[in-house]
Chains A and B, each alone.
Chain A
Amino acid sequence: MPASPVRENGAAAGSSLKATLAQVRQATATGAHRHALSLLLAELAPETDYVDLARHAKALDRIDLAACGLRPLRVALLASHTLEHFAPVLRLFLAQAGFAATITLAPFDTVAASVLDPDSALYRARPDVVWLFATQRDLPLALPPGAGAADRDAAIAAAIADRRALWDRLRESAGCLVLDTLVELPAEDPFGNLAGAAPWGRRALLRRYDAALAEAALTGVVLFDLDHVAAVYGRRRWDDARWWFHSRHAFAIDASGLVAHAASRLLAGARGLAKKCLVLDLDNTLWGGVIGDDGLAGIRLGAGADGEAFVAFQLYVRALKERGVILAACSKNDAETAASVFRDHPDSVLRFEDFAVFVANWDNKADNLRDIARRLNLGLDALVFVDDNPMERDIVRRHLPEVAVVDLPEDPSGYVTALAAPGWFEAAAFSAEDAERSRYYADNAAREAVRSRFVDMGAYLHSLEMVATVGGADPFHLPRMAQLIGKSNQFHLTGTRYGEAELAALAARPDVTVRHIRLADRFGDNGLIACLLLRHDGGDLVVDTWVMSCRVLGRSVEAFTVGLIRDIARAEGCGRMVGRYVRSAKNGLVADLYQRFGFTQANETDWVFDLAAPTDGWTTWIQRAPAPDLPHA
């Protein structure tokens, strides 16, 4: 083995990391935890080797993550291979994804015992997420050469039934998100190619198992595609047998960062922390050249090697849009000239209408990004910024540290990988609402344009012809409701987080009422925009959870909702409504919500409204649509 390149790389990376860790230590010691965290995470990449990841993890242990505003998350790892080394790395990448994670490890090889014993340490830890971290080494799936389809199907069905038994028990007993694993294919097999080509081969069986697991997955179960990570890492490197023999490590220790990063992005998606909007520069990002100088015929798009690379990048961006990512353009350009490419260039895949917001001017990009976030009613931490110009990226990084910035390589053929690899848009599921989301935001931009014509807010709201539909936790809306409760921060009165399974269980209780609100207007359907969870407590109706999508702020949905709560309280024979407000780092927006509707503060969190009291200031411009049949009225 050539010794010197390894050493040189290691030494170079080591010295830069050493300097960073010294700065992190200093910042931590002075109580500047947020600064320490951003310094530490800036150096962190999925490909970082384990030695450096371990040093990162040690530094992270000294940082107060709650003080950095990260969201608490309790994760339990269950495996029959060694993961002690992996837990601190997972915590590191979960911090990068926005979580202050507490990770518990069940004792080695106690997966079934931990899940099946209701008194196990697993349940005492009250996990939010249980990760059944299986690998192909756990699966005894094997058939004699030449075995038939019936044997094969029976073996797969038995293996899947084992997993379902674990899922069912976990969902019943812990009400948490279950993360199970699509296992990886081993690099080597005595049958070689035939292991994949013969129906009884080991690789063929594992592929079939993974496919069957994906079909069997239920609500509340998310599958982590470990096989994809192993393939990206390289299967021969992944199967690092020496650590398996030494200490039962099931995969290469240096792949820990890649696995932890992918899992953390998936959990971010499952918990509503995925990015929502892709902000794109135009010149040399979506086409080669400068439209203002080179003209429509001169820019490189379509024909020629790098013209094709730009088309491929546009195709990838359009596919993101079709799965629910909102697109915005942010370019130093004349607006008409820039828009002409999307209107008139025959090889432009993206059309002008694909952008929910189109900003082309000569202002600085940090200001423009703020403006884009405001117009879309999104936080800056929902944006991903893509620009070929390193100076623009640097300005945005420095002025808007919340915005995720993608480092494009010089060669446009590397753009797709550069945008895809960080996993900003990972999602645990795909719903019809996701496909429609872009349209909601484009409609919102149209509403903004109309609003500027009205001086009188009431006249504007009246002109929207808003209609709300109220429903319960039916199977169609349940995932979206859990998603909204999980991802809402600003308009979330109590900060509760209910997963799908938990929400369904609560909705079934006689002393709980769960409602969702959908809103439509003359510009289009806004989809599901608010959720309520109300608890009946004697003569009181307690508002346990009230969340609303911030894209409908200022549309009198709040007044409509408080009226709805009052109607439910009356129907249930309650005398009072008790609104609850639990302050968080992000929900200052609704600190005075109950006061605005005439509730009286009873204690630190509770606000009371007597149903006999007058309802001044409850004006809403929203009509209620005839109620659909509710399963739990």
Chain B
Amino acid sequence: MPDRPEIVGRLETVFQDTFDDPALRIHDAMTAADLDDWDSLQHIVLVLAVEREFGVKLNPAEVGKLENVGKMVDLLLEKTARV
């Protein structure tokens, strides 16, 4: 079962690949407002990429709750603990 730092590290790689920026760093308070490219379409790509990386599936309510990076990490901790 992955711990928080491992999840943050893997999530950062997902962000870098999705936004095509190898220098991108993530932090818990980061939201769509902090990244120019983070629009509704890229949000879907991000969710799909996260699902693929962590082997989980999010339901529509969970997708709606992912307003910042910290929430994403919380949800992934919870989800990966379950599988």
Contact = CB atoms under 8 A, between A and B. Distances in A.
Interface of A: 1-7, 10-11, 14, 18, 49-51, 54-55, 58, 84-85, 242-243, 245-247, 249, 253-254
B41 A6 contact: no
Given A246-B60, A246-B63, A4 B44 contact: no
Give the contact-size bracket for chain B. 20 to 34
A10 B80 contact: no
A246 B58 CA distance: 11
A260 to B, nearest CB: 15
B53 interface: yes
A2 B41 CA distance: 27
Interface in B14-57: 17-18, 20, 40-41, 44-45, 48-49, 52-57
User: Of residues B20, B52, B83, which shows the largest number of chain A Cβ atoms within 10 Å of its Cβ?
Assistant: B52
Interface of B: 17-18, 20, 40-41, 44-45, 48-49, 52-57, 59-60, 63-64, 80, 83
Nearest to A18: B17
B41 A51 contact: no
A23 to B, nearest CB: 15
Nearest to B80: A3
Contacts of B63: 242, 246
B40 A247 contact: yes
Contacts of A14: 17
A51 B49 contact: yes
B55 A2 contact: yes
A377 B58 CA distance: 55
A475 to B, nearest CB: 44
A266 B20 CA distance: 32
A4 B55 contact: yes
A254 to B, nearest CB: 8
Dominant SS at the B interface? helix
Nearest to B45: A54
Nearest to B46: A51
Contact of A1 (B48, B49, B83): B83
13 contacts: A1-B56, A2-B55, A2-B83, A7-B52, A7-B55, A14-B17, A51-B18, A51-B45, A51-B52, A54-B18, A55-B20, A242-B63, A247-B44
A51 B20 CA distance: 12
B1 to A, nearest CB: 10
Given A1-B83, A18-B17, A58-B20, A253 B48 contact: yes
Nearest to A244: B60
Nearest to A5: B55
Contacts of B55: 1-7
A253 B44 contact: yes
A1 B44 contact: no
Q: Lowest 9 A-B CB distances belong to which pairs?
A: A3-B55, A10-B52, A246-B60, A6-B55, A51-B49, A54-B45, A7-B55, A3-B83, A245-B60
Contacts of A243: 44, 60
Contacts of A50: 45, 48
Nearest to A3: B55
A349 B54 CA distance: 51
B72 to A, nearest CB: 16
B31 to A, nearest CB: 18
Nearest to B44: A85
Contacts of A249: 44
A3 B51 CA distance: 10
B78 to A, nearest CB: 14
Nearest to B52: A10
Given A51-B18, A242-B60, A254-B48, 8 more contacts: A1-B57, A6-B52, A7-B54, A18-B17, A51-B49, A55-B18, A55-B20, A85-B41
B54 A3 contact: yes
Contacts of B48: 49-51, 253-254
A209 B40 CA distance: 34
Contacts of A85: 41, 44-45
A457 to B, nearest CB: 58
Nearest to A13: B52
User: Of residues B20, B44, B53, which shows the largest number of chain A Cβ atoms within 10 Å of its Cβ?
Assistant: B44
B80 A49 contact: no
A7 B57 CA distance: 12
A242 B20 contact: no
Contacts of A4: 55
Contacts of A55: 17-18, 20
A85 B45 CA distance: 9
Nearest to A241: B60
A132 B17 CA distance: 33
Contacts of A2: 55, 83
B23 to A, nearest CB: 14
A10 B45 CA distance: 14
Nearest to B47: A246
Nearest to B59: A242
A54 B46 CA distance: 10
A158 to B, nearest CB: 34
B13 to A, nearest CB: 9
Contacts of A49: 48, 52
A246 B63 CA distance: 8
A272 to B, nearest CB: 33
Contacts of B60: 242-243, 245-246
A56 B13 CA distance: 17
Nearest to B50: A51
A247 B52 CA distance: 20
Nearest to B60: A246
A254 B49 CA distance: 11
Contacts of A1: 55-57, 83
Nearest to A10: B52
A242 B57 CA distance: 10
Contacts of B54: 3, 7
A254 B40 CA distance: 17
Nearest to B43: A247
B45 to A, nearest CB: 5
A1 B57 CA distance: 9
A84 B48 CA distance: 16
